[in-house]
């Protein structure tokens, strides 16, 4: 019997009652942003239907309390007494198999956001390197399953914030992506998916009728997910991407930005699906914490037409043109962007966008064989 869906859609967790686990020792990879359609936590639902012996947590911790990049330690869940084992202690793509010695089945249930640099997909890749079977409870890709954006990441730039071979925005659900990763990287793990019912590839999060639950601390609003698809590149620079404000990734800036000059130039670009207003803010954390910054706020006017990667590359080109003496690129930039900083500093942003368009077309064809939802 299906658990209550929402607007005719049932996520994988809603369908858990269809599964038989017998006496298998089950562990759940999750965080507290994972709910079913009736707002029951994943760990409560799985614990009711299976013999749950452990919880595993990705970056940010089980409760989403850890900052980006902060190591997560093992602990004990105060409510259930279950061990909570960390899968995030820095950039490691291989997990010690001894950490799964008391587990017969790993269930993966985390809300992904459909972007290469969101580390939960690297956590899934970690699990697929070992021998314990993995069952993914599929969830919607908030950015939909059709649009692909960004350049394909070269192995030279691969890291925990970027699996090689993926574009920035890949247009697959987490269940579909797991199968792609198994094939792309030759991973041996037995793998299965409890698919959704009623989800369409052209569905974007704002059309689903489901409130957004923060899957990580900086993604507080569903609009932030779309901005994050491009503005995450700013984390590879000395721009503030809005951490330490009420709207991370929806606004950006720095003390040296001439916000009105930048606003005028951006409006001349006439970018689809987004409008900008000038803003000043003082972040309480992250880059420029405690200092007055000037920049822009992005207002998404049409989620289906907005192309955040294209937008971010063009913005970086403008900011370099106006403030090249003060804009700095950090070592992580290439791992996030997938292209070298020289493409911006040499005035070659259009070449990046041309390459991204070509790569998106290539991956759009490649991913067809992994699309469960038509």
357 within domain boundaries: no
367 within domain boundaries: no
What's the DSSP call for residue 2? P
Q: Is residue 58 located within the same domain as residue 192?
A: yes
SS (H, E, C) 143-176: CCCCCCECCCCCHHHCECCECCCCCCECCCCHHH
Assigned token pair, 55: 């919880």
**Final residue in a domain of this structure, among 213, 247, 279:** 213
Q: Is residue 207 located within the same domain as residue 307?
A: no
Q: Is residue 29 located within the same domain as residue 165?
A: yes
Q: Is residue 157 located within the same domain as residue 267?
A: no
Residue 257 CB neighbour total at 10 angstroms: 24
350 within domain boundaries: no
Domain limits for position 328: 222-338
Cβ-Cβ contacts under 8 Å for 272 (sequence gap 6 or more): 302, 305, 306, 307
Q: Is residue 206 located within the same domain as residue 233?
A: no
**Final residue in a domain of this structure, among 192, 213, 234:** 213
Q: CB–CB of 244/227 below 8 Å?
A: no
CATH of the domain at 269: 3.90.1150.140
257 within domain boundaries: yes
4 within domain boundaries: no
Q: Is residue 157 located within the same domain as residue 259?
A: no
Assigned token pair, 70: 């902060």
Q: CB–CB of 124/162 below 8 Å?
A: no
Q: Is residue 258 located within the same domain as residue 158?
A: no
CATH of the domain at 183: 3.40.50.12170
CA–CA gap between residue 154 and residue 339 (Å, rounded): 9
Place of tokens 């869906």: 5
Could you give the dihedral angle defined by the CA atoms of residues 303, 248, 158 and 150, in that order, rounded to the nearest 10 degrees? 20
Structural domain tally of the chain? 2
38 SS3 class: coil
pLDDT of 8: 86
Q: Is residue 172 located within the same domain as residue 130?
A: yes
64 within domain boundaries: yes
**Final residue in a domain of this structure, among 213, 247, 280:** 213
pLDDT of 73: 79
Q: Is residue 236 located within the same domain as residue 166?
A: no
Q: Is residue 189 located within the same domain as residue 236?
A: no
pLDDT tens across the length of the chain (374 residues): 455 666 789 999 999 999 999 999 999 999 988 999 999 999 999 999 999 999 999 887 676 576 666 778 788 988 899 999 988 876 654 578 888 999 999 999 999 999 999 999 999 998 999 999 999 999 999 999 999 999 999 999 999 889 999 999 999 999 999 999 999 999 989 999 999 999 999 999 999 999 898 888 888 889 999 999 999 999 999 999 999 999 999 999 999 999 999 999 999 999 999 999 999 999 999 999 999 999 999 999 999 999 999 999 999 999 999 999 999 999 999 999 999 999 999 999 999 999 999 999 999 999 999 999 98
How, if at all, do strands 75-76 and 83-86 pair? antiparallel
256 within domain boundaries: yes
353 within domain boundaries: no
Task: From residue 158, give the alpha-carbon distance in Å to each of 180, 187, 338.
Answer: 17, 17, 9
Q: Is residue 208 located within the same domain as residue 231?
A: no
Q: How many helices (H) and strands (E) does the chain have?
A: 9, 10
Q: Is residue 29 located within the same domain as residue 55?
A: yes
48-85: burial string, b at 16+ Cβ within 10 Å, e else = eebebbbbbbbbbbbebebeeeeebeeeeeeeeebebb
Angle of CA points 196, 197, 203, to nearest 5°: 85
85 SS3 class: strand
Assigned token pair, 18: 């269809």
pLDDT of 1: 47
What is the DSSP code string of 293-353? EEEEEEEES-TTT--HHHHHHHHHHHHHHHHTTT--B-TTHHHHHSS-THHHHTT-HHHHH
């Amino acid at each position: 019997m299906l658990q209550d869906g929402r607007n005719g859609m049932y996520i994988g967790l809603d369908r858990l009652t269809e599964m038989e686990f017998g006496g298998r020792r089950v562990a759940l990879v999750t965080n507290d942003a994972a709910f079913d359609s009736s707002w029951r936590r994943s760990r409560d639902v799985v614990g009711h239907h299976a013999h749950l012996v452990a919880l595993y947590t990705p970056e940010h911790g089980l409760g989403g309390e850890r900052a980006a990049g902060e190591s997560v330690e093992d602990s004990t869940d105060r409510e259930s007494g279950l061990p909570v084992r960390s899968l995030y202690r820095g950039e490691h793509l291989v997990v010690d198999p001894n950490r799964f010695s008391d587990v017969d089945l790993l269930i993966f249930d985390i809300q992904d956001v459909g972007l290469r640099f969101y580390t939960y997909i690297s956590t899934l890749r970690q699990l697929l390197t070992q021998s314990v079977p993995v069952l993914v409870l599929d969830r919607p890709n908030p950015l939909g399953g059709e649009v692909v954006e960004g350049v394909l990441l070269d192995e030279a730039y691969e890291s925990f914030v970027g699996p090689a071979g993926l574009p920035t925005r890949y247009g697959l659900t987490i269940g579909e992506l797991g199968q792609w990763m198994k094939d792309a990287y030759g991973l041996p793990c037995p793998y299965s998916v409890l698919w959704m019912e009623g989800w369409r590839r052209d569905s974007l999060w704002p059309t689903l009728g489901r409130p957004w639950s923060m899957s990580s601390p900086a993604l507080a609003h569903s609009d932030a997910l779309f901005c994050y698809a491009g503005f995450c590149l700013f984390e590879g620079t000395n721009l503030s991407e809005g951490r330490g404000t009420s709207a991370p990734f929806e606004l950006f800036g720095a003390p040296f930005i001439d916000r009105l000059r930048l606003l005028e130039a951006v409006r001349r670009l006439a970018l689809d699906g987004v409008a900008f207003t000038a803003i000043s803010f003082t972040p309480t954390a992250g880059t420029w914490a405690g200092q007055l910054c000037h920049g822009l706020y992005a207002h998404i006017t049409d989620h289906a037409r907005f192309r955040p990667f294209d937008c971010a590359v063009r913005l970086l080109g403008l900011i370099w043109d106006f403030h090249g003496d003060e804009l700095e690129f950090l070592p992580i930039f290439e791992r996030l962007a997938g292209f070298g900083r020289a493409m911006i500093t040499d005035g070659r942003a259009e070449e990046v966008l041309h390459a991204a368009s070509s790569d998106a077309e290539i991956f759009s064809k490649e991913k067809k064989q992994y699309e469960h939802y038509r």
